[in-house]
Chains A and B, each alone.
Chain A
Amino acid sequence: MKRILQHPPEVVTGRKYWRNVGELADTPEFRGWLEREFPQGAAEMEIDGLSRRSFMQIMGASLALAGFGFSGCRRPEIQFAALSKSVEWSVPGKALFYASAMPRRGGAMPLMVTTHDGRPTKIEGNPLHPASSGATDLQAQATILDLYNPDRSKFFIANGKKSDRASFENYLKDLLPKIAEKKGEGLAFLSDVSHSPTRERLKKEVLAIYPAAKFHVYDPTGSVLDQAVAKSFGEGVALSYDFEKADVVVAVDSDFLGIDAVGTEPTRQFSKRRDPKEKMNRLYAVENRYTITGGMADHRLRLKASQAVAFLVSLAAKLGMNMTLAPEIPGVDPKWIAECAADLLSAQGRSLVIVGPRQPVEVQALGFAINQALGNIGTTLRGVATAASAAGTLTDLTRAIQDKLVSTLFILESDPVYTAPADLKFGELLKSVPDVVHVGLRTDATAQAAKWHVPGTHFLESWDDAFSPDGTYVPVQPMILPLFGGLSVNDVLTLLAGSPVPVGAELVKATFEKQGQGTTWSNFLRTGYAEGKPAAANLAFRRFDAPISLPDPKVIEVVFPPDYKIPDGNSIDNGWLHELPDPVSKLTWDNAALISRKFAKAHGLNDNDLVKLTIGGRALEVPVLVSPGHADDSITLARGYGHATGTAGKVGTGVGFNAFALLTSTDSGFANGAKIVKSQGQHLLAFTQEHHQMEGRALVREGTKAKFEAEPAFAKTMHIDGHIPPNISLYKSPKLGMPEQWGMVIDLNTCTGCSACTIACQAENNIPIVGKEQVHNSREMHWLRIDRYFATSGDEHDETEPEMVMQPVGCQQCENAPCETVCPVNATVHSEDGLNVMAYNRCIGTRYCANNCPFKVRRFNFFNYNERPIEKIKVGPLPEASGLYYGPLAPKGTEELTKMQKNPNVTVRIRGVMEKCTYCLQRIEEHRITSRVKAGGSDKLKIPTDTIKSACQQACPAEAITFGDLNDPDSALAKLQDNPRRYRLLEYLNIRTRTSYLARIRNPNPKMPGADKVADIYPDEYESLHGEGAPGSTGPARDPNAKAKTSEPAGAHH
């Protein structure tokens, strides 16, 4: 007889403690547990209709199948190490968040770092910081992998042999007194751009001991902006743009939303001005290759980088400035420049002309002069104080070495042997310096050439401080002790200054005391910035008349921009970045010489063909890639690739081609007079997207501002969507039970395609990389991809001057999900809060779901990508199809170091299972638990409005992604549901996607040549056959004039 326990009603006396969340919510399940002797189903055979017979059947079947499933054979064994000492605040399994900042060339990026049990696992922007709003870019997202890079420098190296810190300190003890005797004569330093006041302070301390020592700074991205600013505005000033105030922006060879962006601020500000319901800004882009800035432009001019100066001179003349030169730019409609100038004149003081940082100093100065003439200085172009003090250049250092003036050289987090322009022959010169000490995270080419290599520290391992691009003072706070006991640059400078290396934050604290600005130290660390307005610098433009020369427009130029992913090559061993497709070319694991179709035809070249590029006797063999929208007679080759074997770790070895081999110290961003000769053979390039047209399918929907004003909901009826018959269904969809129903809206109007979201997703969701050979076979694993299409009005396949549009595509979380019905084992199912979720341990990998996914967002683990080091995928040469893949005999297991990065809240998938985006389910659940705990005994179980951000949303600097609860009328998402621009992909399939998009709106200047072609990128094939239609209509167009309306030039505007 079953005993039923009768619990007396609980008398609440004092505080109520609860055993688990179930008790708190007082769910029926919990009561069941409380009142039953045995768990439900364990003791009541008759009640559940389970007879003795069926019990015997089940047991028989279980017994029979016990041997088939091998279910006990494959559970991995994990070794646990218990924390013998408790860590302050640490609750096992709970993440802790710390404010920090990532030192960058344009100023530190304020961050908030997630740590799990003492390991930093994920990086976000610091939402408290006034200029960050919580966004990051892709380098900041990916740098967490640098921390755990198995190939990072782990030992002190002396003359090529493993050494230790004590020996290094002894070496310094011997060396330094000798230098001190000479007052620092022969002592030189070379470092990258720094914005650290602490480093400045230490520098001064070092100079106090060694007054003759020389400091040099080299920026391998080729930016001469600092020099231009110094010459035009004086020392100690950095520029800050205010895009929120700018109505008209002209970007000349400037990728200010992409690789030339300083922080995330420009993108955010620019996006703020793209709302078509408000006064939209207008962007003119003049560039030689498509950049993501060019993709955002309302008007884009395809122009060689060397002709930018001619453009600026013509523009200045049209603006009424007194110009002595009057250049003719072949192939450019003078009306383009005239109308651009007219538009600028109509927005004086509310416009911006940005010249790319790799244009020569005098050209940039011309840009400042134009802004001065337009009255922009002080309004849209402002100055902020910077920490950097005067330092020599790499050329100065080279000269000093040649003149035998340098006997001891400290190279601090810089790799000049690789990044120095070829003509300096720095690697050879370095051999003549007797004492070279290199500090760095990687055993790069310079580390190997140096006498001493000191393993550097990642910024998440060491104390520092910095100015962020807006001039705010921020701490660089470590989350973890140096993993391999390295020394930071500050540590080394401290040693040189004769002090012991501090263990904690003493160095920064000492600086903070001076910089403090009324914040307490603990507040400074907690919020991640010092309160108080950043010091604004006075921008007084002094025109300097450097001679401007106009290059011959006919010669072939080579442009060397920093790479989108590994800007100068310092991230060469970061697999996430290599596997991330370039935002524009969608190329992975390589760089290539980008050329236009016309240029390719003229030279008989195709994609993957190897060519020999020669400039002034320096030659390089590279593969070419035809790039739509590229200027003719112009070649673009990104920096940062092609490191020598043995200097780039396992991941970076053999990746790409070294653009620095073609550069000279006099070129900043481009070199003229190149020769291109086709050579033998090909180099296979791996892309994640091989088809670049939308083929008339209205996937990215786009219109002009005029069109939007005339018909705000134009996007809803585009293409086949205007012909969807009324939905008459016999099937009643089951109602989903949760109070929250998740959804997402992606604003294509502000998405630049920067790809920070893709890396954020990768870091958050433990997404593996697969390597070039696998990418080439279309097996990349990104859950969130960014589709990039080129389209032209009229002939869609015309690659001369197409428009470029971006579309992030992750799982669309269809309510009628095609993947769910076809899975034979119920491994992908719908959750009660409207998500299409994956049960990885249920998945057997039939791949049917992926086949039936109309968006092709499901990703299959063809191999044990998480278990195999990237170079251990295949035996034999890559990427030959004949090679054997490593089977079960291969070394297995993830590197311990890589494991540390994994998000413990997300399953690491094994081979043979399907995976995909679930709107960061782990974040949802975490908040759900928190809100239930907070709710206590009450029934307020709902997660508060807009508290959850998906990883992609959090990273997005354009704030283009909105995730939230569709059922909550206060949520940002619910408000976007009524946006007239909102549409869903493949609506006609009646799959009812939860992710929707906001159509893109361009704001062309109606007077510009080609303005009628802007945003007119769909061939009207479908409409001409079937009429325009409207939602719910079954027949052809109701309005016979509808056709005429769309073909009208997208003209008249505000």
Chain B
Amino acid sequence: MLVMGPNPTPEEPLPRIPLVLNNRSMSWVTQRICGIVEGPTPVWWLIALAISGTLALICFACIGYMISTGVGTWGLNHPVGWAWDITNFVFWIGIGHAGTLISAVLFLTRQKWRTSINRAAEAMTLFAVVCAGIFPGIHVGRIWMVWFLAPIPNANAIWPNFRSPLLWDVFAVSTYFTVSVMFWFIGLIPDLATLRDRATSKVARFAYGFLALGWRGGNRQWRHYELAYLILAGISTPLVLSVHSVVSFDFATSVIPGWHTTIFPPYFVAGAIFGGFAMVLTLMLPARAIYGLHDLITPKHVDVMCKIILLTGTIVGYAYCMEFFTAAYSGNPYETWLFLRNRMADPYIFSKLYNVPVAPYWWAYWAMMSLNVISPQIFWFPKLRYNIYVVFAVCMCVNAGMWFERFVIIVTSIHRDFIPSSWGMFHPTWVDIWTFAGTFGLFMTLFLLFIRFLPMIAISEVKGVLPEADPHYHPKHDDHGAHTSTTEEAHA
């Protein structure tokens, strides 16, 4: 049984749980993290890259086939105009929320535990947004005309339709991506300089040196750097809320039962944070094990993230129930039909209870419910939050559950809406399936390249939360440092 770290319920007096375990020194941190980048390429990495790279190529092949042949290569049809394309878009964009939340919101609220996970989480955000950004681009019928979306004062004097949430989407996602890239890159600069200084090959020195933008670690540079970082954190924070709110407007502003729901913006944001944290853990737990980063990414980190998953998962569960309640309470027959008969009526309990036919997509609805609402509830038990296998399993559940959530919202709402004569079903084709699977390949390829060539943990920031960084730190009197404000904040 692999139970990590110290006893979670220590005896009185409660000592602070340090952010970096085993009294690691600054040089150890540098060695450890830079070592990942500088060491020889591991075999597993090459194998993983080959697999994920192949998947990514399949994704591009599918997209090429789809664009050259027609959107009909997907399983879409007349009631179901969006299915896996937009499901995948919302799924990936949701995952892209945790990174910015960790790096910006937690930065502003001075949550020091963020330092060892923020870099990877931000990278994950970017790669997820890359994957997400593919779909709105390619799902249109005439991709060669997508520039119509840009507000260009062209000769026809036709502007995009500023009333359309799809247009807001374009602005929201592109803003989010731009700011996230800047934020991530600014944070990388000191570490890139470290890599530059340690680099042995000319190429690496040039590449890291180019990217480090002449960083010398001077006082003025640090002051500017931290101000810039703070400002970008300030810009990013509202984006965390806005992007997924805007994505939810794609549905909330429509008239379709199941989409036309005012609870969507907060519900989508909570869901995005929920899914994003699950994906952060999904990536960090294996990376931590492979690279032996147990001292940097401690059980406490896992514990805190589990708590966030529990909180946001419960918010999501509340939203599911509230949606259902609203539909029932409104008395709107189209709304009640949707929830009971398009989603809930499973063949075993609810269809019999209400004496209604089985809902065609009942399995998707109940997959969503059990994976997203029920599975995180086990995080009420601290012991399970400290068991990485359990944590990993729940995170995988949440990853799948959040995909199902988007599928349920999109497909089960439009496959049977107002006029029964045009009801239909959606069946994915192999192109749908491989395009989606391929985005995981793309995501993993980018992530593997990231951990191979860039420091996956923010070296300079972790150093900043080490006891050593405290001017009052005395290595021989451990208890002294515990009274400083640094560790107090760190524990919050």
- With a CB–CB cut-off of 8 A, which chain B residues contact A846? 139-141, 166
A693 touching B141, Cβ below 8 Å: no
A38 CB-CB contact with B under 8 Å: no
Decide: A720 near B333, CB < 8 A? Known: A697-B418, A847-B76, A851-B256. yes
B421 touching A859, Cβ below 8 Å: no
Interface flags for B354-386 (1: CB within 8 Å of A; 0: not) read 000000000000000000000000000000000
Per DSSP, chain B at the interface is: loop
- With a CB–CB cut-off of 8 A, which chain A residues contact B143? 844
B346 CB-CB contact with A under 8 Å: no
Nearest-Cβ distance from residue B448 to partner chain A, whole angstroms: 31
Interface flags for B159-184 (1: CB within 8 Å of A; 0: not) read 11101111100100000000000000
Q: Give Cα distance in the complex from A860 to B414, angstroms.
A: 15
A1037 CB-CB contact with B under 8 Å: no
A844 touching B148, Cβ below 8 Å: yes
CB-CB contacts below 8 Å: B137-157 with A: 139-150, 152-154
B421 touching A860, Cβ below 8 Å: no
A175 CB-CB contact with B under 8 Å: no
A971 CB-CB contact with B under 8 Å: no
- With a CB–CB cut-off of 8 A, which chain A residues contact B414? 851
Q: Give Cα distance in the complex from A911 to B70, angstroms.
A: 7
Nearest-Cβ distance from residue A973 to partner chain B, whole angstroms: 23
A799 CB-CB contact with B under 8 Å: no
Q: Give Cα distance in the complex from A1013 to B490, angstroms.
A: 75
CB-CB contacts below 8 Å: B397-444 with A: 414, 416-424, 427, 429-430
B70 touching A863, Cβ below 8 Å: yes
Nearest-Cβ distance from residue A778 to partner chain B, whole angstroms: 4
Nearest-Cβ distance from residue B157 to partner chain A, whole angstroms: 9
A427 CB-CB contact with B under 8 Å: no
Q: Which of B150, B163, B417 contacts A856 (CB 8 A)?
A: B417
B422 touching A1026, Cβ below 8 Å: no
CB-CB contacts below 8 Å: B68-97 with A: 68-73, 75-82
CB-CB contacts below 8 Å: A859-881 with B: 859-864, 881
Chain B residues touching A, range: 35 or more
CB-CB contacts below 8 Å: A273-321 with B: none
A826 touching B144, Cβ below 8 Å: no
Q: Give Cα distance in the complex from A845 to B166, angstroms.
A: 12
Nearest-Cβ distance from residue A231 to partner chain B, whole angstroms: 45
A854 touching B140, Cβ below 8 Å: no
B430 touching A844, Cβ below 8 Å: no
B418 touching A855, Cβ below 8 Å: yes
- With a CB–CB cut-off of 8 A, which chain A residues contact B332? 720
- With a CB–CB cut-off of 8 A, which chain A residues contact B256? 851-852, 854
B418 touching A881, Cβ below 8 Å: no
Nearest-Cβ distance from residue A812 to partner chain B, whole angstroms: 11
- With a CB–CB cut-off of 8 A, which chain A residues contact B420? 691-695, 697, 699, 789
- With a CB–CB cut-off of 8 A, which chain B residues contact A195? none
B147 touching A852, Cβ below 8 Å: no
A818 touching B254, Cβ below 8 Å: yes
Decide: A822 near B254, CB < 8 A? Known: A691-B421, A844-B146. yes
CB-CB contacts below 8 Å: A806-826 with B: 807, 809, 818, 821-826
- With a CB–CB cut-off of 8 A, which chain B residues contact A777? 75, 77, 427
Nearest-Cβ distance from residue B423 to partner chain A, whole angstroms: 4
- With a CB–CB cut-off of 8 A, which chain A residues contact B73? 885
Q: Give Cα distance in the complex from A1022 to B253, angstroms.
A: 26
B79 touching A824, Cβ below 8 Å: no
Centre residue among A809, A848, A886 by max chain B CB count within 10 A: A848
B333 touching A821, Cβ below 8 Å: no
B72 touching A695, Cβ below 8 Å: no
B158 CB-CB contact with A under 8 Å: yes
Nearest-Cβ distance from residue A746 to partner chain B, whole angstroms: 14
Nearest-Cβ distance from residue A583 to partner chain B, whole angstroms: 13
Centre residue among B81, B144, B153, B253 by max chain A CB count within 10 A: B81
Nearest-Cβ distance from residue A680 to partner chain B, whole angstroms: 24
Q: Which of B82, B141, B146, B430 contacts A861 (CB 8 A)?
A: B141
A787 touching B160, Cβ below 8 Å: no
- With a CB–CB cut-off of 8 A, which chain B residues contact A65? 147, 150, 152
Chain A residues touching B, range: 35 or more
Nearest-Cβ distance from residue A851 to partner chain B, whole angstroms: 4
A520 CB-CB contact with B under 8 Å: no
A842 CB-CB contact with B under 8 Å: yes
Q: Give Cα distance in the complex from A1022 to B335, angstroms.
A: 13
- With a CB–CB cut-off of 8 A, which chain B residues contact A826? 158-161
Q: Give Cα distance in the complex from A854 to B420, angstroms.
A: 11
A696 touching B147, Cβ below 8 Å: no
A780 CB-CB contact with B under 8 Å: yes
B77 touching A778, Cβ below 8 Å: yes
A864 touching B70, Cβ below 8 Å: yes
Interface flags for B78-122 (1: CB within 8 Å of A; 0: not) read 111110000000000000000000000000000000000000000
B166 touching A824, Cβ below 8 Å: yes
Nearest-Cβ distance from residue A442 to partner chain B, whole angstroms: 30
Nearest-Cβ distance from residue B149 to partner chain A, whole angstroms: 6
B142 touching A824, Cβ below 8 Å: no
**Stretch of A68-76, A150-158, A917-925 with 4 or more beta carbons under 8 angstroms from chain B:** A68-76
Q: Give Cα distance in the complex from A851 to B414, angstroms.
A: 7
Nearest-Cβ distance from residue A688 to partner chain B, whole angstroms: 9
A882 CB-CB contact with B under 8 Å: yes
Q: Give Cα distance in the complex from A842 to B158, angstroms.
A: 9
CB-CB contacts below 8 Å: B242-288 with A: 250, 253-256
- With a CB–CB cut-off of 8 A, which chain A residues contact B153? 58, 61
B218 CB-CB contact with A under 8 Å: no
Decide: A825 near B161, CB < 8 A? Known: A846-B140, A847-B76, A912-B71. yes
Closest to B334 in A: A697
Could you pull out 28 A-B pairs where Cβ atoms are within 8 angstroms? A690-B423, A693-B420, A720-B333, A787-B419, A809-B419, A818-B254, A823-B164, A823-B166, A843-B142, A844-B142, A844-B148, A845-B142, A847-B81, A848-B166, A852-B255, A856-B78, A856-B422, A860-B71, A862-B70, A862-B76, A863-B69, A863-B70, A881-B75, A885-B70, A912-B70, A912-B71, A912-B140, A912-B142
Task: Tell me the B residues contacting A by CB distance below 8 Å.
Answer: 65, 68-73, 75-82, 139-150, 152-154, 158-161, 163-167, 170, 250, 253-256, 331-334, 337, 414, 416-424, 427, 429-430
Task: Tell me the A residues contacting B by CB distance below 8 Å.
Answer: 58, 61-62, 65, 68-70, 73-74, 689-697, 699, 719-720, 774, 777-780, 785, 787-789, 807, 809, 818, 821-827, 842-848, 850-852, 854-856, 859-864, 881-882, 885-888, 910-914, 985-986, 989, 991, 1021-1022, 1025-1026
What are the 10 A-B residue pairs with the smallest beta carbon separation, nearest first? A845-B141, A912-B141, A862-B72, A847-B81, A787-B421, A778-B77, A856-B422, A912-B142, A824-B166, A863-B70
